[in-house]
Amino acid sequence: MSSPLRNLPAVNTVLSHPDVDKLHEQMSRAQIIQCVRTVLDDLRNQLRETPDSNPETTHAAVARRTIEAAERLKLRRLNPVINATGVILHTNLGRATLSDSAIARILQAAKATNVELDLDSGRRGRRGVYAEDLIRQLTGASDALIVNNCAAATMLALQGVAAGKEVIISRGQLVEIGGGFRLPDVFEAAGVILKEVGTSNRTRIDDYEKAIHDKTGAILRVHRSNFRVSGFVAEPSAAELVGLARRYNLPMIDDLGSGCLANLTSLNLDEPDVASSLASDADLVLFSGDKLLGGPQAGILLGKADWIARLRRHPMARATRVCKLTLAALEATLEDHLAGNAFDSVPVLSMLSMPAKEVQERCERAVDELSEAGLDLSVVPCQSEVGGGSMADQSISSFAVRIGGSHANELLRSLRTSEARILGRIENGAVLLDFRAIHPKDDSILVNELRRIIRKPWRTDR
């Protein structure tokens, strides 16, 4: 009676396999044991439930499966990836890639840091005060407050300004930002009453005015980041809304989403910028730190000092405060903007503004370096996107390395799970690696990885 179940190698035997032992370079013994146990459990189940499937249970086979399980475990970690998708602010890839100075400052702040200590006086300091000063300097706003993200900024603004009251918003601006962040739900969670006015395509200032009564707490304007309406459309400007709000002594909250500080007009990109919103005299202006600002995930509230002071005292502000690492990166990013060379130093802006010709040259260099690989490689024009729910209908001319041949999906997977974790896209059945959103310093990593992958018989993978 030789039961295949009993022939399974013991955990310790698997651990002693030289290839499994090598995993110690990459993970703890506890994690390796976890991989071995998972593999053995799976095999046991398979042997019980479908004995006819006859899985290999030798020492070597179990070791191989353990290494595969370890690979899958490693893929679940936060890994650096190469973004060849052509989407500059890719939410699934953490949006803005940070500037060199921001990265350096995160490393410094990782140890003990004066996040809530004023080193000059030795007294307790307010978290975020320096970054808020920088934002004020950059924008001319009277005051600023930094929270965890723009969704938190919206919640805080609604709750802090208009809890229990009605907030008026145009029907055309009742958006879903993505990831299930829907404005009607935000209103409800913030404890304010949604008062929608107008229609999906047209809302007039009168519509707002007619909705105002003694229960009204604020007027909210939300940028339609991720879609556009065109045709028979109209809505009041920020300045008109502020004018109306003033007459009724109400605050006007302007949720910009992407919060562009730089001037993008030379790039022909149309995105509401922070300066215009402040110029309209909105009471509160909200935007993200990791969209066009090019910094870490954060939500920034700008505006009138008394409103900001009120929000700063709100318990939601404490519950959504940012960590020191975020502040460190944000400070450095804001300093990059202040230094006036953000288009060079802030990756989001340099990626956005890089001339297509330069992207093309980088692609051509990569293809040249891979010429000996004997692959169907070419450089093709394509369109990149800003992403992150910005500039929904505006794309940017770009170039990509096209990898021809069949099995595009398998190649895409090989690229994604490779050591360099390269993320591309498929267009017309071929893999495209768009170089616009790749950090130029990573071009050579990508080329080297491609060389390795191409040598592997990926065509017969799986």
CA distances (Å), origin 171, targets 183, 190, 245: 11, 19, 18
d(CA 59, CA 21): 13
Which of 291/312 has CB closer to ligand PLP?
Answer: 291
Q: What is the DSSP letter of 427?
A: E
Could you tell me the smallest distance in angstroms from the CB atom of residue 235 to ligand PLP? 15
Residue 109's nearest CA partner among 89, 132, 131 is 131
255 binds ligand PLP (CB under 6 A): yes
288 binds ligand PLP (CB under 6 A): yes
- The answer to whether the beta carbons of residues 258 and 287 sit under 8 Å apart is yes
347 binds ligand PLP (CB under 6 A): no
Q: Which of residues 299-338 bind ligand PLP (CB under 6 A)?
A: 299
Strand partners for 214: none
Which of 97/288 has CB closer to ligand PLP?
Answer: 288
Could you tell me the smallest distance in angstroms from the CB atom of residue 323 to ligand PLP? 15
Could you tell me the smallest distance in angstroms from the CB atom of residue 84 to ligand PLP? 23
Could you tell me the smallest distance in angstroms from the CB atom of residue 151 to ligand PLP? 3
d(CA 98, CA 157): 27
d(CA 223, CA 235): 12
Helix 59-76 to helix 29-49 angle (10° resolution) is 120
- Residue range at the interface with ligand PLP (CB under 6 A); choices 47-55, 124-132, 251-259, 263-271: 251-259
Q: Which of residues 120-159 bind ligand PLP (CB under 6 A)?
A: 149-151, 154
Which of 289/424 has CB closer to ligand PLP?
Answer: 289
d(CA 67, CA 443): 29
**Which pair of structure tokens corresponds to residue 361?**
């040259």
- CA neighbours closer than 13 Å in the CB half-sphere of residue 266: 8
**Which pair of structure tokens corresponds to residue 173?**
């601006």
Which of 139/225 has CB closer to ligand PLP?
Answer: 225
- The answer to whether the beta carbons of residues 4 and 50 sit under 8 Å apart is no
Number of residues that bind ligand PLP (CB under 6 A): 14
Q: What is the DSSP letter of 117?
A: B
109 binds ligand PLP (CB under 6 A): no
Q: Looking at beta carbons, which residue is closest to ligand PLP? A: 257
389 binds ligand PLP (CB under 6 A): yes
Could you tell me the smallest distance in angstroms from the CB atom of residue 291 to ligand PLP? 6
Which of 94/125 has CB closer to ligand PLP?
Answer: 94
Residue 285's nearest CA partner among 355, 223, 328, 377 is 223
96 binds ligand PLP (CB under 6 A): no
| Amino acid identity, position 132 | E
- Residue range at the interface with ligand PLP (CB under 6 A); choices 21-29, 242-250, 254-262, 320-328: 254-262
259 binds ligand PLP (CB under 6 A): no
Helix 183-190 to helix 150-162 angle (10° resolution) is 50
d(CA 127, CA 125): 6
Could you tell me the smallest distance in angstroms from the CB atom of residue 174 to ligand PLP? 11
- Residue range at the interface with ligand PLP (CB under 6 A); choices 24-32, 69-77, 221-229, 324-332: 221-229
Strand order in the sheet with 299-303: 143-147, 299-303, 284-288, 252-257, 216-222, 166-170, 193-197
Residue 175's nearest CA partner among 351, 362, 25, 392 is 392
Which of 47/194 has CB closer to ligand PLP?
Answer: 194
Given 236, 257, 303, 347, the residue binding ligand PLP (CB under 6 A): 257
d(CA 212, CA 192): 15
Could you tell me the smallest distance in angstroms from the CB atom of residue 185 to ligand PLP? 13
Which of 225/384 has CB closer to ligand PLP?
Answer: 225
Which of 177/433 has CB closer to ligand PLP?
Answer: 177
Which of 32/222 has CB closer to ligand PLP?
Answer: 222
- The answer to whether the beta carbons of residues 429 and 67 sit under 8 Å apart is no
Given 57, 139, 159, 225, the residue binding ligand PLP (CB under 6 A): 225
Residues at the site binding ligand PLP, with contacts judged by CB under 6 A: 149-151, 154, 177, 222-223, 225, 255, 257-258, 288, 299, 389
